[in-house]
């Protein structure tokens, strides 16, 4: 015997909940399966919300410790990790409680179990319950990646989950990796008071952004006192009497670093291992993401995927958009696929990085003729008075039409500043239209007017 639903969601995070909510507009027969210990998903429980809560507190601490730059006499400022931890728990509890209420409401049938596929439209739960559905959405997110580094599986190691749950200040930490999570949490730990060594395999950190942007953050890290070592090859990780030892190659030499704790931030991978996807005829890409088309359908047309498990961009708002597309398509609606040409991405280091639109490499690949211009924050009034001089803004515009194609911001509060250009890119606004905006002085935002004007001049000059 089995229970049948019109729409079944595996995973109650941002993408899964968005899909279930959308499906509920078309039918009452919607079920959600989520076997996590606590409902809410990665973003709320172990990702965006806890990390940004901690990062913001560390920024306040950093500013207080540098009060003399602002003509302030602040005798002492230090972290209280126990209090910081409690504030984080209170903050995310508000979001988690709301999500749990929504998932457990009578709008959905909620199964607090783990599931695996046992047929093309069938899943079996860990208590033996069998569920079938006309359409199924996989939104199981991602999990920490443990690459084959000699010794990594033989020593005590932290993941981002552990760092986000700290209630004490570690004296020293070696951070493996240079991705977004690695960089954001390395800087948080450093500002809280830990001695940080960050080891990155590639020549630059943050492969998700331009090399130009990554270099600004690298300089800021080193200026703050983080020992950032790039272009390395990990050779061995060992346990010591006091912690861990990491041996790696750098610039032709063997280098050794020791610390009390080791933080594995070498990326995440799609969470599909326990799903038995072969039983449903689902295929994956080399990255491990489930193969999906523009409607989020997998290689089994009755099964959809959204969020980190699907890719190509592991961002919360993308997961939500994908979930909504999947649910609408599942009920026969004509849908507009997610437009990745207007993709918005943010890195919450300090300085932050924001980028919207195509990369310059992609523009060149497509044969798009464009003009580009930039302007530095160390020559901008508001950023100077804020002692926020790292970084720049940069814009790209199509030469034939003057439309804004992309924008990049590396600065304090870049996550907020990038949205003004995101509106322009998404709506296909031209430089002339954007320059009609009242760019108020003195603000950080008015800096956009300079590269916009320069791009317009370049087009006018032919």
Query: What are the domain boundaries of the chain?
Result: 3-144+269-340, 152-266, 341-460
CATH number of 341-460: 3.30.390.30
- Digit-by-digit pLDDT tens for the chain (462 residues) are 799 999 999 999 999 999 999 999 999 999 999 998 877 777 777 788 999 999 999 999 999 999 999 999 999 999 999 999 999 999 988 888 878 888 778 889 999 999 999 999 999 999 999 999 999 999 999 999 999 999 999 999 999 999 999 999 999 999 999 999 999 999 999 999 999 999 999 999 999 999 999 999 999 999 999 999 999 999 999 999 999 999 999 999 999 999 999 999 999 999 999 999 999 999 999 999 999 999 999 999 999 999 999 999 999 999 999 999 999 999 999 999 999 999 999 999 999 999 999 999 999 999 999 999 999 999 999 999 999 999 999 999 999 999 999 999 999 999 999 999 999 999 999 999 999 999 999 999 999 999 999 999 999 997
Architecture of domain 152-266: 3-Layer(bba) Sandwich (3.50)
Same fold, 152-266 and 341-460: no
Q: What's domain 3-144+269-340's architecture?
A: 3-Layer(bba) Sandwich (3.50)
Q: What is the 3-state secondary structure (H, E, C) of the chain?
A: CCEEEEEEEECCCHHHHHHHHHHCCCCCCEEEECCCCCCCHHHHHHCHHHHHHHHHHHHHHHHHHCHHHHCCCCCCCCCCHHHHHHHHHHHHHHHHHHHHHHHCCCCCEEECCCEEEEECCEEEECCCCEEEEEEEEECCCEEECCCCCCCHHHCCCECHHHHHCCCCCCCEEEEECCCHHHHHHHHHHHHHCCEEEEECCCCCCCCCCCHHHHHHHHHHHHHHCCEEECCEEEEEEEECCCCEEEEEEECCEEEEEEECEEEECCCEEECCCCCCHHHHCCCECCCCCECCCCCCECCCCCEEECHHHCCCCCCHHHHHHHHHHHHHHHCCCCCCCCCHHHCEEEECCCCEEEEEECCHHHHHHCCCCEEEEEEEHHHCHHHHHCCCCCCEEEEEEECCCCEEEEEEEEECCHHHHHHHHHHHHHHCCEHHHHCCCCCCCCCCHHHHHHHHHHHHHHHHCC
């Amino acid at each position: 015997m089995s229970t049948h639903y019109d729409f079944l969601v595996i995973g109650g995070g941002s993408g899964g909940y968005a899909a279930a909510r959308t499906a509920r507009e078309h039918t009452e027969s919607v079920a959600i399966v989520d076997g996590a210990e606590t409902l809410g998903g990665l973003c709320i429980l172990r990702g965006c919300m806890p990390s940004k809560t901690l990062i913001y507190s560390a920024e306040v601490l950093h500013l207080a410790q540098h009060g003399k730059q602002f003509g302030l006499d602040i005798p002492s400022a230090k972290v209280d990790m126990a209090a910081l931890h409690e504030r984080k728990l209170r903050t995310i509890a508000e979001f988690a409680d709301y999500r749990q209420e929504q998932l457990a409401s009578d709008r959905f049938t909620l199964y607090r179990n783990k599931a695996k596929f046992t047929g093309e439209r069938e899943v079996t739960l860990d208590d033996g319950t069998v569920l079938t559905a006309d359409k199924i959405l996989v939104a199981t997110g991602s999990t920490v990646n443990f690459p084959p580094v000699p010794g990594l599986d033989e020593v005590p190691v932290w993941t981002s989950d552990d760092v986000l749950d700290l209630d004490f200040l570690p004296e020293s930490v070696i951070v493996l990796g240079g991705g977004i999570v690695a960089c954001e949490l390395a800087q948080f730990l450093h500002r809280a008071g830990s001695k940080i060594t960050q080891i990155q395999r590639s020549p630059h950190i943050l492969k998700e952004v331009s090399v130009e942007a990554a270099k600004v953050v690298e300089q800021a890290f080193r200026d703050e006192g983080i020992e950032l070592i790039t272009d390395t090859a990990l050779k061995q990780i060992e346990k010591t009497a006091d912690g861990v030892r990491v041996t790696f190659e750098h610039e032709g030499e063997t280098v050794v670093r020791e610390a009390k704790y080791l933080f594995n931030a070498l990326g995440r991978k799609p969470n599909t291992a326990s799903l038995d996807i072969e039983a449903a005829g689902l295929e994956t890409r080399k990255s491990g993401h489930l193969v999906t088309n523009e409607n989020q359908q997998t290689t089994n047309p009755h099964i959809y995927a959204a969020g980190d498990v699907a890719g190509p961009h592991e961002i919360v708002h993308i997961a939500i958009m994908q979930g909504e597309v999947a649910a609408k398509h599942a009920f026969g609606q004509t849908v507009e696929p997610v437009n990745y040409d207007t993709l918005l991405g943010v890195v919450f280091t300090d300085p932050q990085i924001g980028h919207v639109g195509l990369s310059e490499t992609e523009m060149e690949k497509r044969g798009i003729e464009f003009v580009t211009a930039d302007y530095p924050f160390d020559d901008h009034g508001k950023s100077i008075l804020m002692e926020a001089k790292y970084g720049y803004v940069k814009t790209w515009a199509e030469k034939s039409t003057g439309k804004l194609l992309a924008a990049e911001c590396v600065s304090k509060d870049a996550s907020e500043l990038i949205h003004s250009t995101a509106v322009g890119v998404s709506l296909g606004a031209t430089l002339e239209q954007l320059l009609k905006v009242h760019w108020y002085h003195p603000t950080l935002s008015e800096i956009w007017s300079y590269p916009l004007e320069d791009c317009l001049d370049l087009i006018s000059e032919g």
